[in-house]
Structure 1
Amino acid sequence: MKKINTDDFLFDGKGKFSIVNAATKVKDYYADKEDYEVSLSEMQKKMDDLQDKMFAHNRYGLLVVFQAPDAAGKDGTLKAVFSGVNPQGMRFYSFKRPTESELDHDFLWRTNLQLPERGTITVFNRSYYEEVLVVKVHPEILINSQKLPAENIDDLGKVWKHRYEDISNLEKYLFRNGIPTIKFFLNVSKTEQANRLIERIEDPTKNWKFQEQDVKEREFWNHYQAAYEDAINATASEKCPWYIIPADDKKNMRLIVAQIIIDHLEKFDMDYPESDVSRQQELKKLIKVIREQESL
Structure 2
Amino acid sequence: MKSIIPDDFKVANKIKLSQLTTNLEINESDNVKEEKLENVSEKLSELQDIMYAHNRYGVLICLQGMDTSGKDSLIREVFNGFNSRGVVVHSFKTPQPNELEHDYLWRHYLALPEKGKFAIFNRTHYENVLVTRVHPEYILKENLPGIEKVDDITPKFWENRMEQIRNFEKHISQNGTIVIKFFLNISKEEQRQRLFRRLEKGKHNWKFSVGDLKEREHWDQYMNFYEEAINQTSTTNNPWYVIPADDKEMARYIVGKIIWEEMKKYTDIKESELDDKVKSNINIYKEILEKE
Percent identity between matched residues is 42
- Tell me, what secondary structure is at the counterpart of 2:94? coil
Quick check: 1:242 aligned with 2:240? yes
1:95–1:124 contact (8 Å) kept in structure 2:
yes
TM-aligned CA deviation for residue 260 of structure 1 = 0.6
Is contact 1:180–1:239 with CA below 8 Å preserved after alignment?
no
Distance 1:286 1:199 in 2: 61
CA distance in 2, matches of 1:287, 1:90: 34
Counterpart position of 1:2? 2
Task: Give ranges in structure 2 of 5+ residues lacking alignment.
Answer: none
**2:146 aligned to which of 131, 150, 158:** 150
Deviation at 1:195, TM superposition (A): 0.2
Aligned counterparts of 1:232 and 1:36: Cα–Cα separation in 2: 27
Task: Work out whether residues 34 and 253 of structure 2, in 8 Å CA contact, stay in contact via their aligned partners in 1.
Answer: no
Of 108, 112, 115, the residue aligned with 2:109 is: 112
Q: Residues of 2 paired with 1:231 and 1:185: CA distance?
A: 11
Alpha-carbon distance in 1 for matches of 2:192, 2:134 = 20
- C-alpha contact (below 8 Å) 2:57/2:115 kept by paired residues: yes
Instruction: State the alpha-carbon separation in 2 of the partners of residues 113 and 184 from structure 1.
Output: 21
Shift in Å at residue 267 of structure 1?
1.0
DSSP 3-state at the match of 1:180? strand
Report the secondary structure of 1:285's partner residue: helix
- What's the secondary structure of 1:184's corresponding residue? strand
Superposed displacement of residue 44, structure 1: 1.1
Match of 2:90 in 1: 93
8 Å Cα contact 1:66/1:125 also seen in 2: yes
* Matching residue of 1:20: 18
Greater shift, 175-184 or 236-245, is seen at 175-184
Match 1:103 to one of 90, 96, 100: 100
Name the structure 1 match of 2:269.
270
Residue of structure 2 in register with 1:217 after alignment:
215
Displacement of 1:284 in angstroms is: 3.1
Aligned twin of 1:180: 178
Query: For 1:167, what is the secondary structure of its paired residue?
Result: helix
Cα offset, 1:151, TM superposition: 4.8
Residue aligning to 1:203: 201
Cα offsets for 1:105-146 (capped at 9, x unmatched): 100011110111111111100011000000011001112x12
TM-score between both structures, scaled by the size of structure 2 = 0.95
**TM-score, normalising length: structure 1:** 0.94
Q: 1:150 Cα shift? A: 2.6
What CA distance in whole angstroms lies between the structure 2 residues aligned with 1:169 and 1:95? Answer: 20
Partners of 1:218 and 1:101 in 2: CA distance: 29
Tell me how far apart the structure 1 counterparts of residues 60 and 280 of structure 2 sit (CA, whole Å). Answer: 38
Structure-1 residue corresponding to 2:231: 233
Once the two structures are TM-superposed, the CA of residue 100 in structure 1 deviates from its matched residue by 0.8
Q: How many residue pairs were aligned?
A: 289
User: Does 279-288 or 213-222 show the bigger shift?
Assistant: 279-288
Corresponding residue for residue 254 of structure 1: 252
Aligned partner of 1:4: which letter? I
Cα distance in 2 for residues equivalent to 1:256 and 1:35: 13
Answer yes or no: is the 8 Å Cα contact 1:50–1:266 preserved in 2.
no
| Structure 1 position 156, deviation (Å) | 2.3
Shift of 1:88: 2.1
Partner of 1:124: 121
Instruction: Report Cα offsets for 1:196-235 as digits up to 9, x if no partner.
Output: 0010011110011000000011110011001101110111
| 1:189 corresponding residue in structure 2 | 187
Contact 1:182 1:240 in 2 (8 A): yes
Which range moves more in the overlay, 47-56 or 185-194? 47-56
Which amino acid counterpart does residue 18 of structure 1 have in structure 2?
A: K
Give the deviation of 1:67 after TM superposition.
Answer: 0.4
- The 3-state SS of whatever aligns with 2:42 is helix
The CA RMSD over aligned residues, in Å, is: 1.5
Give 2:284's aligned amino acid. Answer: K
User: Quick check: 1:84 aligned with 2:81?
Assistant: yes
Equivalent residue of 2:176, what SS?
Answer: coil
Residue deviations 1:76-114, cap 9 Å, x none? Answer: 001011110222221211111111111111000111101
